[in-house]
Amino acid sequence: MARCFPFSSSVGQSTPTVSSKPSPTWEIKEEAPGPSATWIPPSSPPRTQGQKRKHSDWIPTGTQDRWAVKGMFGLKMQLKRRRMSPVRPEDHKAFNRLLEDPVIQNFLAWDRKLQVSDKYLLAMVIAYFARAGRPSWQYKRLHFFLALYLANDMEEDRQGPKHDMFAFLYGQDHTQRVKFQWLRAQLFRAIGWKAWVTREECEEIQAYQPEHWVWKRDRSLLQ
């Protein structure tokens, strides 16, 4: 949230001089601070390849803003509100810890064609962790798959590869799928129904650890 500080001024003993020049005026322009919270897909996809955009116990968090000078136009200064990423270092820490889970490692190794776990979908997992706002130590294997499943709901048309996550989580026990879908709905609710993650946000998340091996999971590099 932007905080305004008044200009400091010293009061002299002499009589102030009245100037005939007009005082500068300030014009504030607000821009959308973050992703859309509606179910209507925005016009620009966050990915290089075209996919569809659809639209507990978890604690949603808000998005912070800051102000920056956009430009000077004569005596007018125009300001714009810039979005500050809500992703915390502990969200990256939780994600990196979960990547050491042998079940998650086997799942990522299985998805050699990156159908359900390319670098953008994995960046969305971190974004959802940040929006849910849990302490990093609370995230478990199930939370990883819930977030990745929801990311695929937003980005992908193919249902088969996404449903293969159940085999890694529950094996042949199909009775757990209903509970998984209920928990997925709880995650959706916990992030304030804001499952849309822009390409810019994904790239900001990847830039936190640009040399991380997981960001090499790029579909455009597949032969």
Task: Based on the fold, state whether residues 69 and 154 are members of the same structural domain.
Answer: no
pLDDT tens digits, residue range 69-126?
555 555 565 555 555 667 899 999 999 999 999 999 999 999 999 999 999 999 999 9
Looking at residue 55, its pLDDT comes to 39
For residues 195 and 150, the answer to whether their CB atoms sit within 8 Å is: yes
Task: Based on the fold, state whether residues 38 and 126 are members of the same structural domain.
Answer: no
Task: Based on the fold, state whether residues 119 and 182 are members of the same structural domain.
Answer: yes
Which residues, in sequence order, are CB contacts of 131 under 8 Å at separation 6+? 60, 61, 86, 190, 191, 192, 194
The answer to whether residue 20 is domain-embedded is: no
Task: Based on the fold, state whether residues 118 and 202 are members of the same structural domain.
Answer: yes
The answer to whether residue 2 is domain-embedded is: no
Task: Based on the fold, state whether residues 80 and 106 are members of the same structural domain.
Answer: no
Number of domains the chain is built from? 2
pLDDT tens digits, residue range 149-200?
999 999 988 888 889 999 999 988 889 999 999 999 999 999 999 999 999 9
Domain that holds residue 133: 89-218
Query: Is the model's pTM score more than 0.95?
Result: no
